[in-house]
Amino acid sequence: MWKLQVCGAGRAGDGTNTFAQLLGKILKDMGAWVFIWRDEVYSNIQTRDSAFGMRAADFPIYGPEEGFDILVAFDEGALWDWTREGRIPPIERLRAGGVLIYDSSPRLEYPNTGHEVKEELVASVAEAKGLKVFGAPFGAMAKERFGNYIVRGAIALGVLAHMLRLPVQAFERQFRRLFNEELFRLNMDALLEGVAYARHEGWEVPDLEVRLDSAEADGRQFLMGNEAVALGAIVAGCRFFAGYPITPASEVLEYMAEKLPKVGGVVVQADSEMAAIHHVIGASIGGCRAMTATAGPGFSLMQEAISAAGMTETPIVIVVSQRGGPATGLPTKVGQEDLNETIFGGHGDFARIVLSPTEPEDAFYLMGTAFNLAERYQCPVLVIYDQVFAQSQYTIPPLDPQRFSIDRGKLIGPWGPPWRGDGPFRRYLLTPDGVSPRAVPGTPGITTMYYNSNEHNEDGYITEEIPIREAMVNKRVRQRLAIIRKDSDLPPPRVGGHPEASIGFIAYASLYGPLVEVVGQLTAEGRPAKLMALRTLWPFPSKEVRRFVQSCRRVYVVEYSVGAQLRGLVQMEATGPMPRKLRSILRYDGRPMTPQYILRAMEDG
């Protein structure tokens, strides 16, 4: 079992993201499973501390781990809390005996002048942690040789390439993909400068040898959660996307903006989240598979529209990428505080479905399910996840669009048999299964399709009379939820670990990744454990959760919410209070949970 963890740390604008990306892609090309996450990112564009973690292994990994093997520092912020606000700098996450590579030249450019890594600081931490230390004047080299400060990242990569014995050709391939000819040359030269420097200095780290077999890596995808969601939606047939920029959901908008026009679709950057979701309702009525993606405050703005979609029986898909809340909260950091809002938000009673992907491979196919369910049941479908899933980059097996099947439910359009009704088309026709036909506007013969957010009769006209109100509520809520519950397409929980284990974990979204490792580690230590990651959150999988909890002696519900929203759902929908059996493992400081964090929390409580 080979693995390696590297952190690139500096200030926003230093290129730490690009550094981690490139290193990750090269290792991925060499056959590694790579995971890249935002170790320290603030809601800021330039000057605040910025650190990206890169983890590579010769086995699948879906989350971060504690203990960097190598820290590459471009700024003193990597080594100490210069803000004196209780910040925990990346050096604290470098393991004892690890490798520190740092830029030993002064910080040469505004706005961070004076914040270079200082020798005395390096000396003090190196001794305390028994580090192997390598300082090179990346910044000065970049300025002097290339007249370009930003390439010090490429020089640092070169140093690392020599020390880890990574082939230069692998970098060449990635640089070609990333840069134009001019930048390609510049970065290659900078990289080679770094290689030469490290070779000349005789820098070696034999214990960190990269041992990989590239044979199996063919076709593996390397992508962000948000990209998997966006592409999954497109393959599912989404041809209309409206959104408003918000972290950590903007990558969905950006990916859609790039791709949708190429397959006959349209992207609207709306004037607000309210506008965005109403565009989606309009487009869905118009006949498109339509979606929006948002986070915290934007999601709150969408609540009235979700109710409108419920009442008018309009299929829409809403992606909710959670961050630390409430309000603006921690915009760039992880949270799972909006679960209750996805399930209980909006006003009034109506049927809805809430799904959650565990990692990008799951997400890609889950989007197909989301659109099929939305159209089959003519209701809002929410896809909820979190910042770690959204903005981390995962390595996953090859994805296959041919595994999708598209079911548009009772939608009548020019692709199907023509409508042959008697009399006028009735949008809310009472049918045996409670789902009424709807049509693409323009379909010949259909001129009386009336969607109404007021209570309505079968024709869509307003009514407040008792029998029809009761019939419509039953159709829309009771009957609908009953058939949704029976649908075998609802994604079942993802279960893993030792089936007979007495220790159980329940979680959703990105926490699946670290829990796989937790369960593996506990089981290896002779304490068999298992996990259940929920992929359908509403209708709540009560039966599965109850059975799982019953089969354990202790169950930890792991989530990023001080309110323990998921545990609340488990108790309300499946188990009752069970105060001795059910325990919470919570994190609400906006930082990702690692397997080590979860294990420590378990021991503590």
Instruction: Enumerate residues 222-261 that contact other proteins by CB under 8 A.
Output: 222-223, 227-228, 231, 234-235, 237, 239-240, 242, 259, 261
Q: Which amino acid is at 384?
A: I
Integer angstrom CA distances of residue 381 from 290, 293, 384, 407 = 11, 12, 10, 15
Residue from 38, 55, 162, 289 touching other proteins (CB under 8 A): that is 289
Q: Considering the complex, what minimum distance in angstroms separates the CB of residue 290 from other proteins?
A: 7
416 contributes a contact to other proteins by CB under 8 A: no
Q: Distance between CA atoms of 70 and 591, rounded to whole angstroms?
A: 20
Q: Considering the complex, what minimum distance in angstroms separates the CB of residue 134 from other proteins?
A: 31
Integer angstrom CA distances of residue 82 from 2, 89, 92, 114, 115 = 35, 9, 14, 12, 9
Taking contact as CB under 8 A, which single stretch among the options 66-74, 95-103, 184-192, 286-294 is the one that binds other proteins?
286-294
For other proteins, the closer CB: 36 or 555 = 36
374 contributes a contact to other proteins by CB under 8 A: no
Q: Distance between CA atoms of 553 and 501, rounded to whole angstroms?
A: 9
Q: From start to end of 307-443, where are the E strands? A: 316-324, 330-334, 353-355, 380-386, 393-396, 411-412, 438-439
Q: Considering the complex, what minimum distance in angstroms separates the CB of residue 466 from other proteins?
A: 18
The answer, yes or no, to whether the previous bond of 326 is cis (omega within 30 of 0) is yes
Of residues 508-567, those binding other proteins (CB under 8 A): none
For other proteins, the closer CB: 290 or 343 = 290
| SS3 (DSSP) at 282 | helix
Q: Considering the complex, what minimum distance in angstroms separates the CB of residue 104 from other proteins?
A: 36
First to last CA, the chain: 31
140 contributes a contact to other proteins by CB under 8 A: no
Residues for the chain: how many in total?
Answer: 605
Of residues 448-467, those binding other proteins (CB under 8 A): 448-454, 460-462
Residue from 21, 104, 312, 342 touching other proteins (CB under 8 A): that is 312
274 contributes a contact to other proteins by CB under 8 A: yes
Q: Considering the complex, what minimum distance in angstroms separates the CB of residue 589 from other proteins?
A: 31
280 contributes a contact to other proteins by CB under 8 A: yes
Radius of gyration of the chain (CA): 26
Q: Considering the complex, what minimum distance in angstroms separates the CB of residue 558 from other proteins?
A: 29
For other proteins, the closer CB: 110 or 415 = 415
Residue from 147, 202, 444, 499 touching other proteins (CB under 8 A): that is 444
For other proteins, the closer CB: 313 or 517 = 313
Would you give the binding string for other proteins spanning residues 383-402, x where CB under 8 A is met?
A: ---------------xx-xx
Q: Distance between CA atoms of 473 and 465, rounded to whole angstroms?
A: 12
Query: Is 71:7 a contact under the CB 8 Å cutoff?
Result: yes
* One-character DSSP codes across 86-134: S---GGGGEEEEEEEEEE-SPP-STTSTT-SPPHHHHHHHHHHHT-EEE
Of residues 290-309, those binding other proteins (CB under 8 A): 290, 304-305, 308
363 contributes a contact to other proteins by CB under 8 A: no
Q: Distance between CA atoms of 604 and 597, rounded to whole angstroms?
A: 11
Q: Which pair of tokens denotes residue 334? A: 């992880």
Count, residues near other proteins per rule CB under 8 A: 76
For other proteins, the closer CB: 217 or 483 = 217
Q: At what angle do helices 181-201 and 168-178 cross, to 10 degrees?
A: 150
For other proteins, the closer CB: 149 or 451 = 451
Reduce the secondary structure of 198-225 to three states and give it as a string.
HHHHCCCCHHHCCCCCHHHHCCCEEEEH
Of residues 16-55, those binding other proteins (CB under 8 A): 28
Q: Considering the complex, what minimum distance in angstroms separates the CB of residue 120 from other proteins?
A: 44
Q: Considering the complex, what minimum distance in angstroms separates the CB of residue 474 from other proteins?
A: 22
83 contributes a contact to other proteins by CB under 8 A: no
Q: Considering the complex, what minimum distance in angstroms separates the CB of residue 357 from other proteins?
A: 16
For other proteins, the closer CB: 213 or 433 = 213
Q: Considering the complex, what minimum distance in angstroms separates the CB of residue 338 from other proteins?
A: 22
User: Strand pairing of 411-412 and 393-396?
Assistant: unpaired
Query: Is 71:90 a contact under the CB 8 Å cutoff?
Result: yes
Identify the H or E element spanning 376.
Answer: helix 360-377
HSE, CB side, 13 Å, CA atoms: give it for residue 205.
24
For other proteins, the closer CB: 403 or 478 = 403
Taking contact as CB under 8 A, which single stretch among the options 151-159, 180-188, 279-287, 581-589 is the one that binds other proteins?
279-287
